[in-house]
Chains A and B, each alone.
Chain A
């Protein structure tokens, strides 16, 4: 599937009506943040599939799925089984409607990623756009740590470019990744959604990462 096609399909999906600041949920308007909401997810999933074959016929987990965009994109590209995880019931409700809209079967679990317990390596590929940790420090690292525990194939994740060195070091040294590679540096504007945003728009650079978990560790539940 081509980028434009996938973006078009995702563009019809519902997004947050009342975004929750503490969860770093970003909504959309017709003119804003479409890069973050459609282009970047589409681009990420297409790379995962076309360059690495990490999507079709795989078990894919979407951590912090929000309205389900990444997971649904994976479903559209042929993932066999997609599970979305989110702490927020309203997000999952929207994501579930979006799955119906696209006629995709996607499972959802409401949970806090930090205390999720999945069998090691049960998931082939984890895709995620974690909270960047601007409101809750280290939130994205909690997601990454868990993703590298449950994935057997690869983890795709978006992180702020400013944290690149820290992420690489931590993934390789502490989270048992066997490789950590930035596939692309992407830019998008975060519109002024919340009162704490002082500027009208903030230009943010994020990295699309691909991590490979180390599969030589002992298996236990």
Chain B
């Protein structure tokens, strides 16, 4: 799972109101190189929850993103490369996503989070 996916996903347990962002527990991170698409990054920047991305990438061992970012930074190639790397090249391969409100763990195996709920969570 890439951090772009993580950035849009909330805990889906019934009754949880602050389910975003899911905390990440890392057992294994994989990096896969992809081509940088500048227009895509510009578009995504407006949609991304920046703080959640910064925190998630740090948990995954990548601490190059600045705490705050604004759209003027998209003119910098260096910034774009870092943003691109954090958003699209880091994969959580093994670990868990943790509901920030209840602490419930959603396991991640082979890169796939299991967000299925138990009967009493629906």
Contact = CB atoms under 8 A, between A and B. Distances in A.
A127 B2 CA distance: 20
Residue from A83, A96, A109 whose CB has the most chain B CB atoms within 10 Å = A109
B115 A116 contact: yes
Nearest to A120: B8
A50 to B, nearest CB: 19
Residue from B5, B11, B32, B49 whose CB has the most chain A CB atoms within 10 Å = B5
A87 B116 contact: yes
Interface residues of A, number: 25
Interface string B40-55: 1001100101000000
Contact of B112 (A109, A112, A115, A117): A109
Interface string B74-114: 00000000000000100000000000000000000011111
Given A80-B40, A117-B12, A119-B20, A107 B116 contact: no
Q: Is the interface of B mostly helix, strand, loop or mixed?
A: loop
B73 interface: no
Nearest to A82: B5
A108 interface: yes
A81 interface: yes
A190 to B, nearest CB: 28
A108 B117 contact: no
A109 B115 contact: yes
B1 A107 contact: yes
A118 B117 contact: no
A198 to B, nearest CB: 34
B69 interface: no
A151 to B, nearest CB: 12
Interface of B: 1-2, 4-5, 7-12, 14, 19-20, 32, 34, 37, 39-40, 43-44, 47, 49, 88, 110-117, 122
Interface of A: 57, 59, 80-81, 83, 87, 89, 92, 96, 105, 107-112, 115-119, 121-123, 221
